[in-house]
């Protein structure tokens, strides 16, 4: 299994006036092409406002090798070439980790985002696994201090301590350990991919 991190590519494109509907269709077509590509994790796009012609398009792959294979593919080349008359690429950035999914300051409109996310029940399990023992431990350790506090303050202290621990330590570890299970496609889809 590769030790490489997922890579998110952010591409700023300026859509020429009068091509907004075509750009929507073009972006959907690119998602459909990339969706079945090995290592594809999701994609979407944001705009600076409803009337803005600048679009920040995002796509994410499991590692740099999978990304490179997609970017060198004939399918992607055809897709990019099909939009040459309606948009201009102004900036391309690559990010590893989760920061690539967050919009830039000023982005207010998310247009039909699409991500390949684990089912909600798997997400719930991956949160429950670290949260239950950590919450139990925190309650056990804090109870002598907070037993006579108002419930609201006791819960607040618990949350203030647990939130950064979950966000920066325990959830990243859990999702990394569970990644093969979380990213495993449903049986129906796997059968279609193998056909």
Distance between CA atoms of 146 and 144, rounded to whole angstroms? 6
CATH level 3 topology of 7-115? Alpha-Beta Plaits (3.30.70)
Query: Residue 169: how many CB atoms within 10 A of its CB?
Result: 12
Structure tokens at 135: 């919450």
pLDDT in tens, 15-45: 888 888 888 888 888 888 888 888 888 888 7
Domain coordinates in residue numbering, the chain: 7-115, 120-192
- 1 has pLDDT over 50: no
pLDDT in tens, 47-87: 777 777 888 888 888 888 998 999 999 989 999 899 888 88
pLDDT in tens, 83-139: 888 888 878 887 665 544 444 443 333 344 444 567 888 888 988 999 999 999 999
- Model confidence at 193, in pLDDT bands (50, 70, 90)? very low
Cα Rg of the chain (Å, integer): 21
Who wins on pLDDT, 190 or 186?
Answer: 186
Burial track 98-107 (b if 16+ CB lie within 10 A, e otherwise): eebbebeeeb
Distance between CA atoms of 65 and 18, rounded to whole angstroms? 36
């Amino acid at each position: 299994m590769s030790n490489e991190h997922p890579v998110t590519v952010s591409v700023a494109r300026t859509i020429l006036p009068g091509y907004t509907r075509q750009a929507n269709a073009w972006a959907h077509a690119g998602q459909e092409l990339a969706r079945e590509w090995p290592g594809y994790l999701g994609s979407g796009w944001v705009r600076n406002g409803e009337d803005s012609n600048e679009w920040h398009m995002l796509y994410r792959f499991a590692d740099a090798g999978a990304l490179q294979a997609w970017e060198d593919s004939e399918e992607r080349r055809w897709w990019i070439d099909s939009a040459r008359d309606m948009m201009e690429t102004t900036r391309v950035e690559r990010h590893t980790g989760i920061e690539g999914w967050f919009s830039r300051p000023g982005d207010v409109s998310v247009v039909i985002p699409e991500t390949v996310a684990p089912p909600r029940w798997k997400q719930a399990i991956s949160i429950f696994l670290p949260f239950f023992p950590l919450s139990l431990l925190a309650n056990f350790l804090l109870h002598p201090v907070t037993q006579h506090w108002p419930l609201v303050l006791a819960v607040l202290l618990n949350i203030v301590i647990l939130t950064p621990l979950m966000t920066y330590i325990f959830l990243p570890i859990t999702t990394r350990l569970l990644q093969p299970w979380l990213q495993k496609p449903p049986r129906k889809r796997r059968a279609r991919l193998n056909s």
